[in-house]
C-alpha cells in the first residue's frame, strides 16, 4: 500500500516537471505579445484598408510587421491612421509608423504611450536554448478577422524540416501561427517568428478543366518559422527615420545564382557564387572594378555557401551587404573568365528609392509624375547617368492621359515639345497645363521599352 502510494506520488511529480504550465495558460499569457495592426494606404484615387499581424518587441510599445505588409513603392506619406487592436478586443489604440529596416525587411510601428499597458514584449518569454529538432511540437497564435474582434486561436504542429534560406528556418507539417506572430515550444519558450507562408502546389479540377496546376498561399496562417536566433539579435534595428536609412549600397544588379553543375565544371565544389548581370555606373561595385559577368565567390574571405534552392545564395549575398553600414569596406573574391580577382568595395548610400521619390498627382490630367531615379535608368537601359525626364507612377483609369494611351512606368521625355531635364521643370509645366482651363490638349513624348511614342492628350 505504502509502496503504491509512493509510486503515484513520483508519477505526479514527473508530470509536473514536464508540463510546468498547461498550454492554455501559456497561450493566455503569450497572447499579450501579439496585436492586429490596421492602417490605410492612400493612393491617388483610393483609401485602401490593410490589416496585418504584429509582434510586440519592447516595453516602448514597438511592434514589428512582416516586410510584405507594405509594398515597396508605397511612400511613407501614403500610410495613414495606424491603429492596433488587442486580440479579442473591439477598442483600438493609435500608433505611429517608424519605417522599414532594410536588413530584416520588418516594418516598425509604435503604440501611443497611454495604450501600452497590458502589452508584453516577446522578449519577456525565454527563448529556446537550442534549435527545435525534427518532430518537435511547436505552437502559435492565429487571429481571426476584425469582425470577430481579432479573436485569438491556438495552432500547433510538428517540425518537418530545418533549412537555411539563408537564415535558419523551420517548416512545420501544417500552419502554426499567423504570419508575423511568435511561435513557442510546449514549455512556452520562444522558438521563432512565423513568416509569410510559402505557396503550395495544387491541382484545380472543374467541369471544363482537368487538373490545372495552381499555387495557393495561405495569407492568414503560416507553417514557416524564422528561428529565434535569427530574430532576437535584430530586434534593435528600429529605423532611425521613416526612410529606414542608412542603407548600405553595392550597385550590382541582376545577380544570378551559380548552380552545382556550373560550380563542378569550374572546380568549385561545395560552394556557390553569384553572377553579376548589370553594374550601375559610379556605384561602389563599379568603382571597385567589378565587371558584368564576374562571378562573386567569397566575401571577406568567406566562400559563398552552397544553399538550397540555388537562388537562396542571392538573398545571402544581399544580406551580407545590408549587414554593413554605408562607408564600410569589404573584400570580394571574384572569378573573371579563368582568373581570380580580389576587389575591395567601399559601400555607399543606397540611392533614392521609389518610396522616397518626389511625386505629384495631377488630377485633371489623370496621372502621377514621379522623379526619375537611378534604378529607373537600369530598368530602361538608359545611358548611365541619365536623369532626364520623369516617370509615370500612376494613371487614373478613364482619365485624359489614359485615353491618350499613357501607361504606368512610361518614361516622359518631352512635354509639349520641350525636353524635360528635371523633375521640377516637369511639375512646373504640368501644373501650368492643369491650371489652364482653356487648354484643350497637350502632347507627351514617352519612352516605353526602348521605343518612343508621341501621345496627344485631349482635355475637357
Nearer to other proteins, 216 or 443 (CB): 443
Radius of gyration of the chain (CA): 27
Residue 91 as a binder of other proteins (CB under 8 A): the answer is no
Residue 276 as a binder of other proteins (CB under 8 A): the answer is yes
Nearest approach, Cβ of residue 265 and other proteins (Å): 5
x/- map, 416-455, other proteins, by CB under 8 A: -x-----------------------x-x-x---xxxxxx-
Nearer to other proteins, 56 or 268 (CB): 268
Nearer to other proteins, 145 or 452 (CB): 452
Asked if the bond preceding 426 is cis, omega within 30° of 0, the reply is no
Nearest approach, Cβ of residue 292 and other proteins (Å): 7
CA distance 284 to 276: 14
x/- map, 362-391, other proteins, by CB under 8 A: -------------------x----------
CA distance 408 to 369: 10
Residue 414 as a binder of other proteins (CB under 8 A): the answer is yes
Nearest approach, Cβ of residue 449 and other proteins (Å): 7
Long-range contacts of 265-272 (CB under 8 A, 24+ apart): 266/295, 266/335, 268/297, 268/335, 270/306, 271/297, 271/303, 271/304, 271/305, 271/306, 272/304, 272/305, 272/306, 272/307, 272/310, 272/313
- Grid coordinates standing for 140? 502559435
Candidate residues 168, 360, 413, 439; the one interacting with other proteins per rule CB under 8 A: 413
Nearest approach, Cβ of residue 213 and other proteins (Å): 16
Give start and end residues of each alpha helix (H) in 235-275: 260-265
Residue 410 as a binder of other proteins (CB under 8 A): the answer is no
**Per-position DSSP letters for 309-369, written without gaps between them:** STTHHHHHHHHHHHTSPTT-EEEEEEEETTEEEEEEEE-EEPPPPGGGS-EEEETTTTEEE
Instruction: Give residues 161-220 in contact with other proteins (rule: CB under 8 A).
Output: none
Instruction: Give residues 231-270 in contact with other proteins (rule: CB under 8 A).
Output: 254, 256, 258-259, 261-262, 264-266
How far from 412 is each of 101, 363, 406, 452, CA to CA, in Å? 32, 17, 9, 9
Residue 340 as a binder of other proteins (CB under 8 A): the answer is no
**Interacting residues with other proteins (CB under 8 A):** 254, 256, 258-259, 261-262, 264-266, 275-278, 292-293, 295, 337, 381, 413-414, 417, 441, 443, 445, 449-454, 456
Amino acid at each position: 500500500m505504502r509502496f503504491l502510494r509512493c509510486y503515484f506520488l513520483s508519477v505526479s511529480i514527473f508530470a509536473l516537471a514536464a508540463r510546468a504550465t498547461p498550454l492554455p495558460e501559456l497561450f493566455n499569457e503569450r497572447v499579450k505579445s501579439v496585436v492586429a495592426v490596421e492602417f490605410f494606404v492612400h493612393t491617388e484615387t483610393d483609401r485602401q484598408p490593410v490589416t496585418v499581424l504584429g509582434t510586440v518587441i519592447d516595453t516602448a510599445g514597438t511592434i514589428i510587421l512582416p516586410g510584405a505588409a507594405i509594398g515597396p513603392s508605397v511612400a511613407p506619406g501614403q500610410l495613414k491612421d495606424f491603429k492596433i487592436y488587442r486580440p479579442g478586443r473591439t477598442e483600438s489604440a493609435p500608433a505611429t509608423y517608424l519605417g522599414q529596416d532594410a536588413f530584416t525587411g520588418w516594418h516598425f510601428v509604435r503604440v501611443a504611450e497611454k495604450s501600452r499597458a497590458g502589452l508584453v514584449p516577446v522578449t519577456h518569454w525565454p527563448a529556446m536554448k537550442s534549435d527545435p529538432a525534427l518532430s518537435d511540437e511547436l505552437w502559435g497564435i492565429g487571429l481571426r478577422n476584425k469582425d470577430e474582434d481579432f479573436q485569438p486561436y491556438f495552432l500547433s504542429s510538428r517540425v518537418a524540416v530545418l533549412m537555411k534560406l539563408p537564415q535558419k528556418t523551420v517548416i512545420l507539417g501544417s500552419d502554426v501561427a499567423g504570419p508575423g506572430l511568435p511561435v513557442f515550444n510546449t514549455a512556452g519558450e520562444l522558438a521563432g517568428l512565423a513568416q509569410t507562408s510559402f505557396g503550395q502546389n495544387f491541382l484545380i479540377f472543374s467541369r471544363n478543366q482537368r487538373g490545372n496546376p495552381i499555387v495557393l498561399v495561405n495569407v492568414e496562417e503560416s507553417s514557416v518559422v524564422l528561428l529565434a536566433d535569427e530574430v532576437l539579435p535584430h530586434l534593435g534595428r528600429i529605423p532611425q527615420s521613416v526612410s529606414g536609412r542608412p542603407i548600405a549600397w553595392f550597385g550590382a544588379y541582376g545577380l544570378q545564382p551559380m548552380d552545382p553543375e556550373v560550380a563542378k565544371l569550374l572546380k568549385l565544389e561545395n560552394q556557390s557564387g553569384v553572377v553579376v548581370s548589370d553594374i550601375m555606373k559610379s556605384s561602389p561595385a563599379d568603382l571597385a572594378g567589378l565587371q558584368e559577368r564576374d562571378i562573386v565567390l567569397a566575401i571577406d574571405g568567406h566562400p559563398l555557401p552552397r544553399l538550397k534552392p540555388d537562388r537562396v545564395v542571392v538573398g545571402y549575398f544581399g544580406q551580407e551587404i545590408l549587414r554593413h553600414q554605408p562607408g564600410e569596406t569589404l573584400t570580394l573574391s571574384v572569378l573573371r573568365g579563368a582568373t581570380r580577382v580580389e576587389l575591395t568595395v567601399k559601400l555607399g548610400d543606397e540611392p533614392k528609392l521609389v518610396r522616397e521619390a518626389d511625386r505629384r498627382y495631377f488630377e485633371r490630367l489623370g496621372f502621377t509624375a514621379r522623379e526619375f531615379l537611378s534604378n529607373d535608368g537600369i530598368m530602361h537601359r538608359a545611358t548611365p547617368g541619365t536623369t532626364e525626364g520623369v516617370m509615370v507612377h500612376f494613371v487614373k483609369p478613364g482619365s485624359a492621359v489614359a485615353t491618350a494611351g499613357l501607361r504606368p512606368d512610361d518614361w516622359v521625355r518631352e512635354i509639349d515639345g520641350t525636353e524635360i531635364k528635371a523633375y521640377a521643370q516637369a511639375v512646373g509645366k504640368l501644373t501650368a497645363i492643369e491650371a489652364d482651363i482653356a487648354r484643350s490638349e497637350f502632347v507627351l513624348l514617352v519612352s516605353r521599352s526602348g521605343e518612343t511614342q508621341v501621345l496627344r492628350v485631349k482635355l475637357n
